[in-house]
Structure 1
Amino acid sequence: MSIISIALTGAQAAQVALSTVSQNVANAATDGYTRQSTLLASLGSSRSGVSAGEGVKVSSLQRFSDGYKNLQLWQAASELGRRESAQPYLTQLERIVGDDDSGIGAGLDELFAAFNAASVEPTSTPLRQQVISAADALSQRFVSLQQSLANQRSAIMQQRDALATEATTLATAVADLNRQITAAQATGGSASTLLDERDRKIDALASIASIQVVEQNDGSLNVTLRNGMPLVVGTRAATLTMNPGTTPTLQVDFASQSYSVASGVLGGELGGLGSYLEEVLEPMSASVAELASSVATSVNGLLAGGYDLDGNAGAPLFVFDSATNRLSVNGALSARQLAFSSDAAKPGNSDVLQQLIALPTQSVTLPLLGSVQLSDAWSQLVGDLGSRSAQNQAALKTAETVRDQAEQNWKSTAGVNQDEEAASLIQFQQMYQANMKVIAVANELFDSTLQMFG
């Protein structure tokens, strides 16, 4: 093979290498870009006799991707998504229940303060009316809080529906990229850009739910949920939807099969929202309803055993609707009808009123706390929520640190190093120039040879 032909292979290889370096430099700031390098191989002689070889060839383009580091990145994304999704709701709920001016605790204090004030003069109409006003204010606080809890639940349901739809879109995109990648690799083409795009889609999918990823021999990736439920198998993708209900589950439809997945095994944003719903919001809603019911039952029970200013048997102060868990004040009750006396003949008797004042020492059983005194119930609910929020915030900071470390670890292999690329740029520039010099020398030799025979 001629010197010119050999040098030409070197110049062409240098051009490919320079193009690869240029691609790396151009995408140094591109999110998720994996750097590449040019692998060169010597061309041996195909002729008999003494020959150094026939030049160089580009054997392949190497993509600096580490499967283990990718998995670390995706696992970190799942944990971060799980913690991030729940924290805004925890913070919002903590602010709502901890409000001293509009919280249930302040409402209970005002009611029992009104009872205590009425005990000074049990027959006073203004003081009796103050009790009804305090009871009405307390019921409105319960209604407002329960509406806030219902709004949170509705927002979580909508967010989970949106996430399930997004996960379906991402799974479909990964399956389509599997098809494009296997086709490109089968024909010897470069699939680096497609591989980067697939990794980005999987990273986004991992943020929504914890996943497992297995590479196949043809270059495709199979993606499953943490419990093995399929999301992507080759070029086929699952469809994800949320099943409605008190404790919604994720439905995975793949091929002709349907699977139901509980929140506890989902992980990611879906798992975080599901855990918050099941472990915090629903128990809090049940505890608020039970507290409202206990207050109504206790107060009404004591009043039922008393007599009003006209000697009539006591009527209820509160009305609790067990179907809606709504607490309200008996609109038909007047101040005179508050049954504070234990003796029909003695309107100024305050025996029942004294029992009402002592109600805060009574025990109530709440789903989130168990058995507690009525006076401590709300503060303990607030404290329990604050503790859960603080724990999630600490876990969130840890998850952010782990994710940052995983990204740095990934970049140490796949990221573009400007100094390395600058050195490679000089190296392949010199290689190209040297080969062009060889071609120039070969041309001079050829011209000299022609002159000899001219």
Structure 2
Amino acid sequence: MADLLSTGVSGLLASQVGLSTVGHNISNVNTAGYTRQTTSFNARAPQYNGGMYIGQGADAVSVQRSYSQFLTQQVWSATSSQSRASQYATLTASVNNVVSGSANLQTALDGFFGAVSDLSNSPVDTASRQAMLGKASSLVATYRSLATQFQQIDQQTNQQITSAVADINSLAKSIADLNGQIQKAYAGGAEPNDLLDTRDQAIAKLSSIIGVSTTTNTDHMVTVTIGNGQPLVSATSSTQLGTATNQYDSSRLEITGPGGSVITSQVGSGSLGATIDFRTNVLDPARNQLGRSAVALTTAFNQQHAQGLDLNGDAGGNFFNIADPAVFNSTNNKGTGSITATFGDVGKLSANDYTVRFDGVNWSATNSQGVTTPMTGTGTAADPFVLDGMKLTVGAGAVAGDSFQIQPTRNAASAISVAVTDTNKIAASGPLSATKGAGNTGKAVLGNLTVTDVGNANFNTPVTIQFTSPTTYTINGGAPQAYADGDTITGNGWTLKLTGAPAANDSFSVKPAGSQSGDNGNALALASVNNKGVLDNGVTSVNKSYSQLISQVGTAGAQANTALDAQQSILDNANAAQQSLSGVNMDEEAANLLRFQQAYAASAQVINAANTIFDSLLSAVRG
């Protein structure tokens, strides 16, 4: 009965392995990344006896994972894409919250230009002037607040990049260590299921941070690459990534690979790729567009303010101050050259940044989209380069390969300030005033008096317009000129429009406005600056430029949320497919538990039967 006893023991041991595997599955039902394990059995080789083969029982030959490399890699890919979409949506929402938050620029713009309009009704009133300065300060504070919040988001992206790189390095080292352990375990002749699960889980976490490609080698170790084939894990070695400041802007972090090479542009997926893309495609354009609005406001308002007179009788100076475009030297520059940038034709100013390079003979420029942008001029102080609304003066000393980055508007909103602090310095009066003759009998009334050239040599010369008939007039007794109702009369750097028909001997005068005249001509012009075309070759107003920012960020947010919904669905489907094969099903495990319990008990009965027969034989011999 030795063979029967051995057969029973084999069944007992095989069932015990099956029970242990089921118990392991049940215990890990909630373990992330766990793959269901199954026990495989084989019948022992039979023994030839008495002209027949008699079975010798069974052995548990392996415990294997219910695993599909294809489905697992599908999950990794979907995880990377979903993580990217989630991070991108979260970061884009933070910018959306800034532009639509309590520091609403539209409200501040409306308040400021409302105060300017109020001043036009009472141009010499001190309270109205003080109110305008107060609203100007509030507007500047709003620009600066928005700029500060954008800067904080930029700093947070740096922190997220640093944290992500640290996590990548840690996971890469862990995967390399697991490679070594798995190789040793396979050398023992069995599949190390739990170590394989641990490695897969580490790769899944890594894929959520950065897009990866994996290859399983014949020695059961995996090779992990990122970006354009940059090795991250090879056998038991891992490459450590790093961070370094941008060669132009020290406030910006870049990702580096072996030897300090910058690989930021190679990171396209996972949460880290989303952070990089968000910074480039959402945050930077938003900051630039905000600064562009500040530059447009400053330029247009200052130009109009300069055409008026203040209460002291002086020509208006700058009402707002703003910084010139920022220029950054590359840390790789070998020469001593420099570039100085100022604003030129703001109507041509874009929301791009630029890289200007010297090849040893010529200078060239590319914008932040990598598109070559033409420059005119020679770069001297007398003939500066003209580049999209900027003037660039190049200093001597540059050598071939030197480059510079120009950020025209990135930090403009944080640098805007109110230049006027004295209410008397507000140039509300137009430089000229027009009056109607007291003895006029015709129906002509004054329309718009517009300044066209304040630098005209005879600009301040008083002028009398005398109608010699309803259809002819003279200026200061000069040659008669034809007139029809609605015509514009042109003087020395100004134009005057009348409405209605004049009578013979009617007169109108144009002369310099007095400092306390109460004229509101320039205040009216200042109030209209908000809706005056300034940017995009005179198409886009200050008011519209902010609306473009809101629309730009809102569109990016909507697209990000749509992408997140799509990627979440893809990930859910990938997980469902993988779990249908590899996940622990408690109903199935309960059935297996009962099956192995019964097999174990039955094997015990076989052993018991063998023992009973053996005892009977012994008893017969003793008898």
TM-score bucket (shorter structure):
over 0.9
Q: Which has the higher strand share?
A: 2
Alignment of 1:10-409 (within 5 A): 10-45=11-46, 50-99=52-101, 102-245=103-246, 246=249, 248-253=253-258, 259-263=261-265, 265-322=267-324, 323=326, 325=412, 326-331=415-420, 333-340=421-428, 341-343=430-432, 344-347=512-515, 348-365=518-535, 372-409=540-577
Residue in structure 1 matched with residue 582 of structure 2 by the alignment: 414
Cα distance change on mapping 1:284 and 1:371 into 2, 3 Å:
farther
In structure 1, give the amino acid aligned to 2:520: S
Aligned-pair identity (%): 30
Whole-Å separation in 2 of the counterparts to 1:365 and 1:53: 92
Residue in structure 1 matched with residue 407 of structure 2 by the alignment: none
SS at match of 2:309: coil
SS at match of 1:145: helix
- How far residue 258 of structure 1 moved from its aligned partner, in angstroms, is 5.2
- How far residue 289 of structure 1 moved from its aligned partner, in angstroms, is 1.4
Cα distance change on mapping 1:358 and 1:188 into 2, 3 Å:
same
Is the contact made by 2:88 and 2:275 (CA closer than 8 Å) also made in structure 1? yes
Whole-Å separation in 2 of the counterparts to 1:379 and 1:179: 58
Cα distance change on mapping 1:313 and 1:209 into 2, 3 Å:
same
Alignment of 1:419-438 (within 5 A): 419-438=587-606
Whole-Å separation in 2 of the counterparts to 1:345 and 1:376: 33
TM-score relative to the length of structure 1? 0.93
What are the superposed Cα offsets for residues 174-194 of structure 1, whole Å, 9 maximum, x if unpaired? 111111111111112451111
Whole-Å separation in 2 of the counterparts to 1:258 and 1:34: 39
Whole-Å separation in 2 of the counterparts to 1:226 and 1:417: 37
In structure 2, give the amino acid aligned to 1:318: F
Is the contact made by 2:48 and 2:54 (CA closer than 8 Å) also made in structure 1? no
What are the superposed Cα offsets for residues 263-289 of structure 1, whole Å, 9 maximum, x if unpaired? 464211111111111011111111111
Is the contact made by 2:222 and 2:234 (CA closer than 8 Å) also made in structure 1? yes
Comparing 346-355 and 167-176, the one that deviates more: 346-355
- How far residue 233 of structure 1 moved from its aligned partner, in angstroms, is 1.2
Is the contact made by 1:9 and 1:55 (CA closer than 8 Å) also made in structure 2? yes
Is the contact made by 1:175 and 1:234 (CA closer than 8 Å) also made in structure 2? yes
SS at match of 1:239: coil
Cα distance change on mapping 1:46 and 1:230 into 2, 3 Å:
farther
Is the contact made by 2:25 and 2:37 (CA closer than 8 Å) also made in structure 1? yes
SS at match of 1:41: strand
Gaps of 5+ in 1: none
In structure 2, give the amino acid aligned to 1:433: A
TM-score relative to the length of structure 2? 0.68
Comparing 203-212 and 285-294, the one that deviates more: 285-294
Whole-Å separation in 2 of the counterparts to 1:183 and 1:51: 39
- How far residue 226 of structure 1 moved from its aligned partner, in angstroms, is 4.1
In structure 2, give the amino acid aligned to 1:393: N
In structure 1, give the amino acid aligned to 2:526: L
In structure 2, give the amino acid aligned to 1:213: T
Comparing 418-427 and 151-160, the one that deviates more: 418-427
Is the contact made by 2:208 and 2:271 (CA closer than 8 Å) also made in structure 1? yes
Q: Which has the higher helix share?
A: 1
* Aligned length, in residue pairs: 446
Whole-Å separation in 2 of the counterparts to 1:393 and 1:316: 44
- How far residue 46 of structure 1 moved from its aligned partner, in angstroms, is 6.5
Whole-Å separation in 1 of the counterparts to 2:204 and 2:570: 15
Whole-Å separation in 2 of the counterparts to 1:244 and 1:153: 13
Whole-Å separation in 2 of the counterparts to 1:439 and 1:338: 109
In structure 1, give the amino acid aligned to 2:170: T
- How far residue 384 of structure 1 moved from its aligned partner, in angstroms, is 1.8
Whole-Å separation in 2 of the counterparts to 1:452 and 1:81: 77
Whole-Å separation in 2 of the counterparts to 1:451 and 1:396: 79
In structure 2, give the amino acid aligned to 1:87: A
Structure 1 runs (4+) deviating above 6 angstroms are 46-49
Comparing 67-76 and 348-357, the one that deviates more: 348-357
Is the contact made by 2:534 and 2:542 (CA closer than 8 Å) also made in structure 1? yes
- How far residue 451 of structure 1 moved from its aligned partner, in angstroms, is 2.9
Comparing 233-242 and 442-451, the one that deviates more: 442-451
Cα distance change on mapping 1:339 and 1:164 into 2, 3 Å:
same
Whole-Å separation in 2 of the counterparts to 1:274 and 1:448: 82
SS at match of 1:128: helix
- How far residue 412 of structure 1 moved from its aligned partner, in angstroms, is 0.7
Whole-Å separation in 2 of the counterparts to 1:345 and 1:382: 41
Whole-Å separation in 2 of the counterparts to 1:447 and 1:337: 122
Gaps of 5+ in 2: 327-410, 433-511
Cα distance change on mapping 1:259 and 1:102 into 2, 3 Å:
closer
Higher relative contact order (CA 8 A, sep 6+): 1
In structure 2, give the amino acid aligned to 1:249: E
Comparing 113-122 and 438-447, the one that deviates more: 438-447
- How far residue 364 of structure 1 moved from its aligned partner, in angstroms, is 4.0
